Copies of this chain bind each other. A is one copy, B any other.
Amino acid sequence: MLSKKTKYGLKALTYLARHEESAPIQIQEIATAENISRKFLESILLTLKKNGFLGSKKGKGGGYYMIRPASEIPMTAVMRILEGPIAMVPCVSLNYYETCDDCPDEATCSVHHLMIQVRDSALEVYRNHTLADIIRITVPE
C-alpha cells in the first residue's frame, strides 16, 4: 500500500510542477488545494528539498519551487525517496538490498524469483515516466 506520505508528496510535486514558472508557492497553498494537513506536508516537502527535488525560499514571498524541469525527474527517483524500495522484498531490492535471515538460499527460493518479476514490472512503469508525464495525464488537452 502506498503511504500517505508518498501520495501527498506526489500531489505536491505535480502541483508545483504545474506552476513551474511562477513565484515560490507556500506550503499552506498546496495544503489547501490538495487537502493535506499543513504540518505533515511541511515535513514531506522538506525531505523532497533535501533530496534535490525542490528549492525553497524563507520569509515573506517565500515557499517552494521546482529546481529543474518536471521532464527531468524520473518517477523511480521520486518513488524511492518517498516510498522507499520499489521491490516488495529486501532480497530483490536494487537500491536497498538485504539478505533474508530465514531463507537459506536465494537461488532456490520461489518467492525470490517471483518478486524479481514483480519488481521489474513496476520498475518498467516508473522508468517510462517522468513527473511531466503524470501531469500530462491529468490535463488531457
In the complex, which of the residues B11, B88, B122, B139 contacts A1, with contact meaning CB atoms closer than 8 Å?
Answer: B88
B114 to A129, Cβ gap below 8 A? yes
Bound together, the chains give a CA A8 to CA B14 distance in angstroms of: 38
Chain A: interface size category: 35 or more
Segment 77-115 of A: residues with Cβ below 8 Å from B: 84-85, 88-89, 102-104, 108-111, 113-115
Which B residues are in CB contact (< 8 Å) with A137? 110, 113-114
B88 to A2, Cβ gap below 8 A? yes
Segment 21-61 of A: residues with Cβ below 8 Å from B: 34-36
Copies in the complex: 2
- 9 more A-B residue pairs beyond the given contacts A7-B89, A34-B102, with a C-beta to C-beta distance below 8 A: A1-B85, A1-B89, A35-B102, A35-B103, A109-B138, A110-B135, A110-B137, A111-B134, A113-B134
- A124 interface residue per 8 A CB criterion: yes
Bound together, the chains give a CA A103 to CA B36 distance in angstroms of: 10
B134 to A114, Cβ gap below 8 A? yes
Of the candidates A1, A108, A126, the one having the most CB atoms from chain B within 10 angstroms of its own CB is A1
From known contacts A1-B89, A118-B122, A122-B122, infer whether A110 and B10 are also in contact, taking CB-CB under 8 Å: yes
Which B residues are in CB contact (< 8 Å) with A35? 102-104
Which B residues are in CB contact (< 8 Å) with A14? 110
Which B residues are in CB contact (< 8 Å) with A113? 134, 137-138
